[in-house]
Amino acid sequence: MFFSSVNLHFDDPLLNMATVLVIGIVGGELFAYLRLPKVTGWIATGIFLRWVAFPGMDTGADPKCLDRFLPYMHFVLGFIAFTVGATLYFSSLRNTGKRIGLLLLGETLFTPVLVGALLCFAGPLVPGGEVMTQQPAFLLAAIAIAGAPGTTVLVIQEARARGILTRTLLAAIGLIDMVAVAVFVFITTVLGDQLGWGHAFQSVLIQFGITLAIGGGCGVVAIALTRTVVSPAFLGPIIVASVLGAWGFAAGFGTSGGILACTFAGIVITNLQHDLVRSGEAYLQTISGALFALFYTFAGMRLDFGLVPSAAALVGLYFIARLISKCISAFSAMSLSGVTDNVRGYLGIALLPHGGVAVGLILLVTGEDSGFSEEVRTVVNTVGLSALAINQLLGPSATRFALVRSGEALQDRPRLLDFLQEHRITVGLIGNDSEATIRELASQLYATSEMQIDQEDFIQRVLARDAELSTYLGQGLMIPHAILNEGEGDEIRGVLGISAEGLEFDTFDKRRVHAVLLLATPEIERSRHLQVLSAFATAITRDANLVEQLYHARSPAHAYEILNADKQVDMNYFLEDAADQAGLRP
């Protein structure tokens, strides 16, 4: 080994962590300089450190030397799972349910079936593939479903991406891991005890029931503490404690229990007390770079590329089968849900990263108490970990490529119409009564936003304003609104309703109303309110193409992409660019 002749002792875990962190950061910066994701650099650095047999962490001399850092790895993985769960804020997922549901259905059916079929029928035909039998093929097919929430979230943050593809990724990636666990538990139960499908489904329900109870319980306890005895200064530490508690309690309960429990904790907390999640994320934001750099460098050190040559053909087949199945699954689901070409064409590629849950599932198969034969364990370990190593290196770049090509990279800067997210847009608006339409949109506004004014009071203000002076601007656009007093809100909120056929209101130009933008504007945001009115009014009078596309948007996602397209930057502009042009920024 490289350091075998050096008679020094580097066994202190803290010294090891400090050294690996520094080297990992340098590796990440070098890859960033090459315009590659930093996470790829961290993983590659870890692989390099394994290869040179770094002092104190020589996996050749001690295969279990990295196990000393498992508590740290579990915490970061739990925090990642919690963060992914926290993105499932139900009120903000309005209009996304169809495509997320179809994607999960595709991942449940297409991915394991296609991967399993290719491994079963094509596997024995490739060099060295005679070891590929039905059992390892089915197990690898289930493992293929799993994604990499941590890697995906990190690449999205680094790319500063925002849009429908990004939103779909964030909403689906944690749920896809849940699907992977469910399918894996089902397959292992069927293969293991031969008690039939009924028992397999029962095992899946027990697995999810236990982790839901643990994660939900930790989330409820965290909320209760913040509402009673814990001061605001310790909201962040309480979130950390809930992550540690969820993983710890679930450690003895089945497949990837910690990951599932932390995900459920995030879901429960974000939907019961959304601001608490923000506090926790802000608390760790300052050290997140160190947490992730060290985590992914250690993850790279656990990958053994020495396994690849012995099963190169099978590994290549598995990698290609997984990529094809992800693309087919995503393309089919997005086509059925009616999203735009950008999302439909690039979502499958963005799902390529393979991570933590896959490692956990492979370890469960390869454990001596798994119940599978030595031959099956060897095939799953060799092919699974080798393909995982390749995916860890190529996956982040694939996700970055998808985000860039879809036009969503560098779109997270504040924009004039940021309040019009997908869940605050509706298409297919019907009716010929303006008051009924305003009430319908107000219901959507209150369902998707935290409003501090009574709903009926708000509606009456809007109606009074419209009665005083019509809020119809012409060309089929109406913008009813109300000004909120001090203490009733601190940012502008709104919803957009679109009708392709048009609403027959009493308008001065005798045209049907095709778009109704309902606004709730705090007194302190009056200037931005006027900017919104001006932007829309100018756009509909000057850009007939925009009007045609917006008024006939196929879905809320389609309307969102129209409003956020690069060519609409004159209307929905980046606020910092506007400030620069006005000379308001140094």
Distance CA 264, CA 181 (A): 14
pLDDT of residue 217: 92
Side-chain-side CA neighbours of residue 261 (13 Å): 29
Token pair of 203 as six digits = 């095992």
Q: What is the pLDDT of residue 581?
A: 39
Listing DSSP states for 300-347 in one string gives: HHT--GGGTGGGHHHHHHHHHHHHHHHHHHHHHHHHHHT--HHHHHHH
Q: Give yes or no for a contact between 99 and 339, defined as CB atoms under 8 angstroms apart.
A: yes
Rounded Cα–Cα distance for residues 475 and 233 (Å):
51
Backbone torsion region of residue 67, taken as left when φ is above 0, otherwise alpha when ψ lies between -120 and 50, otherwise beta: alpha
For 566, the 3-state DSSP assignment is helix
What is the reported pLDDT for 1? 47
The total of other beta-carbon atoms located within 10 Å of residue 84's CB is 27
199 CB-near residues (< 8 Å, 6+ apart): 189, 193
Q: Which two tokens stand for residue 417?
A: 């119409």
What is the pLDDT at residue 94?
Answer: 67
What is the spatial distance between Cα 551 and Cα 12, in angstroms, rounded to a whole number? 65
Q: Taking the C-alpha atoms of 202, 266, 112 and 115 in order, what is their torsion angle to the nearest 10 degrees?
A: -150
Domains along the chain with CATH numbers: 13-405 (1.20.1530.20), 422-581 (3.40.930.10)
241-277 core/surface letters (b: 16 or more CB in 10 A; e: else) = bbbbbbbbbbeebbbbbbbbbbbbbbbbbbbebeebb
Instruction: Give me the pLDDT at residue 547, please.
Output: 77
pTM: 0.69
Written as tens digits, the pLDDT of the chain (586 aa) is 444 554 455 577 888 888 888 998 998 889 888 877 777 788 788 888 888 877 767 666 666 777 788 788 888 878 877 877 777 777 666 667 778 888 888 888 888 899 888 988 888 888 877 777 788 888 888 888 888 877 788 888 888 888 878 888 887 887 888 788 778 877 777 776 666 667 667 777 787 788 889 999 999 998 888 888 887 777 778 888 888 999 888 877 755 567 778 888 888 888 888 777 766 666 766 777 788 888 878 877 776 666 667 678 888 888 899 999 999 988 988 888 777 777 888 888 888 888 767 776 776 676 555 667 778 777 877 787 778 777 877 888 888 898 888 888 877 666 666 677 778 888 888 877 888 888 888 888 888 777 888 888 888 888 888 888 888 888 888 888 888 887 777 788 888 888 888 888 877 878 888 888 888 888 887 777 777 777 777 777 677 777 788 888 877 877 877 777 655 555 555 444 443 433 433 4
